[in-house]
């Protein structure tokens, strides 16, 4: 399939939140593959989409914690599936394709989340919660062709749309709108001793 044919699949409205060194058309091949996979899954997904589901992050967290000890990747995937939102993980793309981190889109009358990065468990959980945040906050709209594409997901983004999705993700996972990691005493002492050691060697 040539680039022009990929463009026909995508249409002209999709928008990217992308790395500075990745042009929008560099992601078209991967996005077309993701669109196709999402369409196949959405058209065959057995659970009807529950458009009345209240996508409040704390309510989602509370619901998950009634059955689980913490919000895990498996439990959040299960939640998404229970309300008719398929979660798709795509690993293989054409060799020349540059991959996005994830995207949320409407296909066959339901939202679909596509993740592509082979992240560690916790990072993939955040990516999933982030994409669910785009759905919950109404970021799939006519302006972007009902598709929001994240070439890179950054938890410290200053973009308002990305901040909304990040806050949603943090609330689902931790109950807080943001996370601040504070080093413990052992870490501080180790860093201080390390800095003293480096000065001695100088």
pLDDT digits (tens, 9 = 90+) for 32-51: 888 999 999 999 999 999 99
How far apart are the C-alpha atoms of 130 and 171, rounded to whole Å?
10
Domain positions in the chain:
3-201
How far apart are the C-alpha atoms of 148 and 27, rounded to whole Å?
13
User: pLDDT digit string (tens) for 147-198?
Assistant: 888 877 776 676 889 999 999 999 999 999 876 555 555 544 555 455 444 3
pTM: 0.76
Q: Among 144, 140, 195, which Cα is nearest to 165's? A: 140
Distances from the Cα of 42 to the Cα of 47, 49, 61, 81, 122, angstroms: 10, 10, 25, 11, 26
Note whether 178 and 169 are within 8 A (CB). no
Q: Is residue 83 over pLDDT 80?
A: yes
Residue with the larger pLDDT of the pair 184 and 136 = 136
Q: What is the pLDDT of residue 170?
A: 96
Least confident of 5-19, 51-65, 71-85, 134-148: 5-19
How far apart are the C-alpha atoms of 141 and 52, rounded to whole Å?
18
Note whether 36 and 153 are within 8 A (CB). no
Q: Is residue 27 over pLDDT 80?
A: no
User: Mean pLDDT over all residues of the chain?
Assistant: 79
User: What SS3 class is residue 62?
Assistant: helix
Least confident of 8-22, 74-88, 186-200: 8-22
How far apart are the C-alpha atoms of 13 and 79, rounded to whole Å?
29
| First-to-last C-alpha distance (Å) of the chain | 59
Q: What would the mean pLDDT of 111-120 be, rounded to a whole number?
A: 87
Q: What is the pLDDT of residue 179?
A: 66
């Amino acid at each position: 399939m040539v680039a022009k044919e990929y463009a026909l699949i995508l249409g002209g409205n999709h928008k990217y939140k992308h790395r500075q060194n990745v042009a929008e058309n560099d992601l078209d091949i991967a996005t077309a593959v993701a669109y196709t996979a999402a369409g196949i899954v959405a058209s065959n997904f057995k659970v009807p989409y529950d458009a009345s589901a209240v996508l409040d992050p704390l309510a989602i967290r509370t619901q998950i914690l009634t059955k689980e000890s913490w919000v895990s990747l498996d439990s959040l995937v299960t939640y998404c599936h229970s309300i008719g939102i398929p979660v798709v993980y795509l690993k293989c793309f054409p060799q020349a394709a540059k991959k996005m981190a994830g995207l949320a889109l409407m296909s066959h009358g339901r939202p679909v989340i596509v993740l592509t990065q082979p992240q560690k468990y916790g990072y993939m959980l955040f990516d999933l919660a982030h994409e669910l945040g785009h759905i919950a906050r109404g970021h799939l709209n006519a302006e972007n062709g009902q598709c929001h594409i994240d070439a890179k997901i950054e938890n410290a983004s200053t973009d308002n749309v990305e901040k909304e999705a990040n806050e949603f993700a943090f609330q689902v996972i931790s109950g807080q709108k943001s996370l601040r990691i504070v080093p413990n005493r052992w870490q501080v002492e180790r860093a201080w001793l390390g800095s003293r050691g480096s000065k001695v060697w100088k």
